[in-house]
Amino acid sequence: MKEASPTEPIGQNLIKLISNVCFSVFVFSVLIFTVIAITYQPPDPWLQSSKALTRVFTEVENATFKIDGSVLPTGEDVGIAPVVSPSAVVQITEASIEKSEEKMVNLSSLPSCDESLKTVNCSDPRVLIAIEKFNLKIFKSIVFLEYQTPVNGSKPNECDVAWKFRNKKEKSWRKYRDFRRFRIGIGENCSYRVTGANGWHSGINARRPRPKLNSTKSTGAPKASLAIRDDEINDTIPTVGSEAAFRKGRYLYYSRGGDYCKGMNHFLWSFLCGLGEAQFLNRTFVMDLSMCLAATYNPSNKDEEGKDFRYYFDFEHLKETASIVEEGEFLKDWKKWDKTHKKKIPIRKVASYKVTSMQLKRDKSTIIWRQFDAPEPENYWYRVCEGQAAKYVQRPWHAIWKSKRLMNIVSEISGRMDWDFDAVHVVRGEKAQNKELWPHLDGDTSPGALLEKLKGMIQPWRNLYIATNEPFYNYFDKLRSQYKVHLLDDYKELWGNTSEWYNETKLLNDGRPVEFDGYMRVAVDTEVLYRAKTRVETFYNLTKDCKDGINTC
Ligand SMILES: *[C@@H]1O[C@H](CO)[C@@H](O)[C@H](O)[C@H]1NC(C)=O
Ligand SMILES: *[C@@H]1O[C@H](CO)[C@@H](O)[C@H](O)[C@H]1NC(C)=O
Ligand SMILES: *[C@@H]1O[C@H](CO)[C@@H](O)[C@H](O)[C@H]1NC(C)=O
Ligand SMILES: *[C@@H]1O[C@H](CO)[C@@H](O)[C@H](O)[C@H]1NC(C)=O
Ligand SMILES: *[C@@H]1O[C@H](CO)[C@@H](O)[C@H](O)[C@H]1NC(C)=O
Ligand SMILES: *[C@@H]1O[C@H](CO)[C@@H](O)[C@H](O)[C@H]1NC(C)=O
Ligand SMILES: *[C@@H]1O[C@H](CO)[C@@H](O)[C@H](O)[C@H]1NC(C)=O
Ligand SMILES: *[C@@H]1O[C@H](CO)[C@@H](O)[C@H](O)[C@H]1NC(C)=O
Ligand SMILES: *[C@@H]1O[C@H](CO)[C@@H](O)[C@H](O)[C@H]1NC(C)=O
Ligand SMILES: *[C@@H]1O[C@H](CO)[C@@H](O)[C@H](O)[C@H]1NC(C)=O
Ligand SMILES: *[C@@H]1O[C@H](CO)[C@@H](O)[C@H](O)[C@H]1NC(C)=O
């Protein structure tokens, strides 16, 4: 099961949050975790989710859990989206390699044995085959998708090669890139064989220069000549296009409600409700990409506005799977229309969530505008999906994937350990300090206890990734006597000011640097944890305390 957060950023404010935030929000966040805990059963938990969700939501009303700032599994974790890529993906397997070998044997154009004995010719197809076989044998958790022709490395017997892959644990069709340097030896009767391989992203000669796009908007006039670095990420903001196209559309517009600045899971729960209603009504959802990140996730300990949806989630995938328009573009087109036409755009304003989706189904207005002006908790978007509506409106979970930019960091960290690592999830922070609800947690996660416990579960000198909310970096030093310890902060440069992530997120933020915040940390930490070969959980494996406090398990 995919379990909650490794890091609970900046502990103290949890308590503050709990006392500040009204109880229903509190219970609500708790319920989401519970729902996930209960319904998350790979491969396909959300299929029967609708019923399970409502049941759990009505049953667990007076729970006394704690918010723990964990990261909700998204579409690519639960794998409900069609796993197949839009462009047919060819997976490299033993069978496909054999086939291309056979084909080659039939071709007489191959260099003869004497020639190839002298030097390694990287563009010889047999070199690639040797490398493909090697990779398949070494990286069992990886699906290899496309290789490029190897090129010369820095020495005569070296070849650099790039490929695309995905991790078997990720159920999306998103592809990631790696390029490595291999040493090639020549075996008996002239066969090539890999005698050594360098690490993640070592084959720099095979790195393709990336094409640069010229504008941030995909259709509109190119305002700024901002380059998009990752040729695989296209999260430009789509425009509606012509006036006629705008007028022909049907839109569902939600004003900002009480959800703003609440936790990320609250946001998702609400956002997906809106998106689900839009799908039910067969309308385009007007979406605000500008978010407010709750204080719990911010090093500053304050709510921070102006965060971009694209920092956290995959907007490209969302564009492809749902009909959406960005709020700014939408309002611009709307204003323009009303200015230049006598007849205004037909609009239906809906003041209360009590007007149900079913009542709006027949409405022909161009815009349905739901306003959320009531006091909390009457102004939460997700209330639209409560009651009767829950039977009709489905939350499109598959539309939400985590940001590819964050996932690139996850791949980089896992890749640097050659996907050959074990991980332990050490939950400390608030929970460790609360002896009433978690009497043994602090002791059970002390360095000495950890070392003793892990000795029984993980071989010495393995790579050990520690996903944790323990802020003190040296806390785990004791484990270094037995394991090669890796912590998220060991990879700081992946989001530091010389990183690709830094450059790319800066472009989304009008050229201002973006902070790697607590939510991003938790998201990356969790995903790396998830890719480990052996995974040790705090609750169940390290301590007998219950995840949600005493007597809850
Ligand atoms: C709360 O829990 C108590 C004891 O577990 C139970 O008796 C009560 O009915 C619950 N209240 C609600 C509203 O579910
Ligand atoms: C290669 O040739 C053999 C017979 O020589 C034939 O059976 C096989 O189908 C051929 N393979 C390909 C891929 O052309
Ligand atoms: C290397 O192999 C490729 C493909 O077989 C061939 O076209 C090329 O001429 C070879 N180069 C050398 C230097 O042998
Ligand atoms: C690669 O190296 C071989 C010899 O090691 C050389 O003959 C060939 O020209 C090189 N190819 C390129 C593209 O530099
Ligand atoms: C290479 O030699 C081995 C034994 O030395 C033999 O089994 C194999 O069939 C040979 N491969 C080819 C392609 O001739
Ligand atoms: C990018 O845009 C700038 C100015 O808009 C233009 O001068 C430049 O030629 C464009 N580059 C490409 C590769 O299209
Ligand atoms: C980016 O996506 C938009 C659709 O959202 C599409 O119109 C545009 O052509 C894409 N750009 C590239 C370079 O793929
Ligand atoms: C949804 O709307 C599109 C055009 O906006 C229309 O072509 C389609 O028939 C509608 N589907 C349903 C089920 O109403
Ligand atoms: C990156 O950050 C370091 C330390 O914070 C600073 O010394 C350096 O000048 C920065 N480099 C750039 C390119 O901003
Ligand atoms: C980031 O951008 C700077 C300045 O444009 C550039 O010098 C640097 O090479 C870029 N770094 C990466 C990793 O792309
Ligand atoms: C952790 O606990 C679970 C549940 O008891 C168990 O299935 C799993 O094997 C344990 N993990 C390790 C690494 O021992």
pLDDT-derived band at 238, boundaries 50, 70, 90? confident
- CB–CB of 276/252 below 8 Å? no
* Dist CA 157 CA 177 (whole Å): 23
Q: Taking the CB of residue 364, how many other CB atoms lie within 10 A of it?
A: 8
* Dist CA 175 CA 169 (whole Å): 13
* Dist CA 224 CA 549 (whole Å): 52
In terms of domains, do 369 and 255 share one?
yes
- CB–CB of 166/173 below 8 Å? yes
Q: Taking the CB of residue 217, how many other CB atoms lie within 10 A of it?
A: 16
Question: Which residues have a Cβ under 8 Å from the Cβ of 263 and sit 6 or more positions away?
Answer: 29, 67, 69, 294, 296
Find the helix or strand (DSSP H, E) in which 467 lies: strand 463-468
Instruction: Please work out whether the CB of residue 124 comes within 6 Å of at least one atom of ligand 3.
Output: yes
Query: In which domain, by residue range, is 139 found?
Result: 86-206
The answer, yes or no, to whether residue 71 has pLDDT greater than 80, is no
- CB–CB of 447/460 below 8 Å? no
CA nearest neighbour of 264 among 446, 68, 127, 62: 68
Task: Give the pocket of ligand 4 (CB within 6 Å).
Answer: 119, 152, 156
What is the CATH number for 330?
3.40.50
Provide the 8-state DSSP code for 429.
Answer: H
The two tokens of residue 110 are 């191959």
Find the helix or strand (DSSP H, E) in which 438 lies: none
**Residue 93 counted as domain residue:** yes
- CB–CB of 193/200 below 8 Å? no
* Dist CA 472 CA 62 (whole Å): 35
Residue type present at position 345? I
- The three-state secondary structure class of 96 is helix
The pLDDT of residue 289 is: 95
- The three-state secondary structure class of 324 is strand
478-524 pLDDT tens trace: 999 999 999 999 999 999 999 999 999 999 999 999 999 999 999 99
SS (H, E, C) 472-490: CHHHHHHHHHCCEEEEHHH
* Dist CA 486 CA 242 (whole Å): 52
Mean pLDDT of 228-237: 67
Best probe residue, ligand 2, of 98, 99, 102 (max atoms within 8 Å of C-beta): 102
Instruction: Please work out whether the CB of residue 121 comes within 6 Å of at least one atom of ligand 3.
Output: yes
For residue 61, which atom of ligand 1 is closest to its CA?
14
In terms of domains, do 293 and 375 share one?
yes
Range with lowest mean pLDDT among 6-10, 217-221, 281-285: 217-221
Domain boundary among 161, 182, 206: 206
Compute the distance from residue 244 Cα to the ligand 10 centre, in Å: 41
Structural domain count, the chain: 3
* Dist CA 181 CA 534 (whole Å): 28
In terms of domains, do 320 and 460 share one?
no
* Dist CA 117 CA 246 (whole Å): 66
**Residue 514 counted as domain residue:** yes
The structure tokens 């704690």 sit at: 66
Task: Give the pocket of ligand 6 (CB within 6 Å).
Answer: 214, 222, 225
Instruction: Please work out whether the CB of residue 62 comes within 6 Å of at least one atom of ligand 1.
Output: yes
In terms of domains, do 510 and 452 share one?
yes
In terms of domains, do 181 and 269 share one?
no
**Residue 55 counted as domain residue:** no
Provide the 8-state DSSP code for 455.
Answer: H
In terms of domains, do 193 and 280 share one?
no
pLDDT-derived band at 6, boundaries 50, 70, 90? very low
Alpha helix ranges (H) inside 343-446: 357-360, 404-416, 429-433, 441-444
Compute the distance from residue 536 Cα to the ligand 7 centre, in Å: 42
User: Measured in whole angstroms, how far is the alpha carbon of residue 345 from the centre of its chain?
Assistant: 38
Question: Which residues have a Cβ under 8 Å from the Cβ of 374 and sit 6 or more positions away?
Answer: 352
Q: Taking the CB of residue 521, how many other CB atoms lie within 10 A of it?
A: 23
109-147 pLDDT tens trace: 555 566 555 678 898 888 999 999 999 999 988 989 889
pLDDT-derived band at 85, boundaries 50, 70, 90? very low
Find the helix or strand (DSSP H, E) in which 145 lies: strand 142-147
Atom 5 of ligand 10, residue of closest alpha carbon:
503
* Pairing mode of beta strands 176-186, 158-167: antiparallel
- CB–CB of 157/184 below 8 Å? yes
pLDDT-derived band at 102, boundaries 50, 70, 90? confident
For residue 456, which atom of ligand 11 is closest to its CA?
14
Ligand sitting nearest the alpha carbon of 326: 7
**Residue 52 counted as domain residue:** no
Compute the distance from residue 222 Cα to the ligand 6 centre, in Å: 9
**Residue 372 counted as domain residue:** yes
For residue 320, which atom of ligand 7 is closest to its CA?
5
**Residue 48 counted as domain residue:** no
In terms of domains, do 272 and 388 share one?
yes
- CB–CB of 487/467 below 8 Å? no
Provide the 8-state DSSP code for 543.
Answer: B
* Dist CA 488 CA 7 (whole Å): 10
In terms of domains, do 481 and 372 share one?
no
420-468 pLDDT tens trace: 999 999 999 888 999 999 999 999 999 999 999 999 999 999 999 999 9
Compute the distance from residue 234 Cα to the ligand 7 centre, in Å: 6
Atom 3 of ligand 6, residue of closest alpha carbon:
225
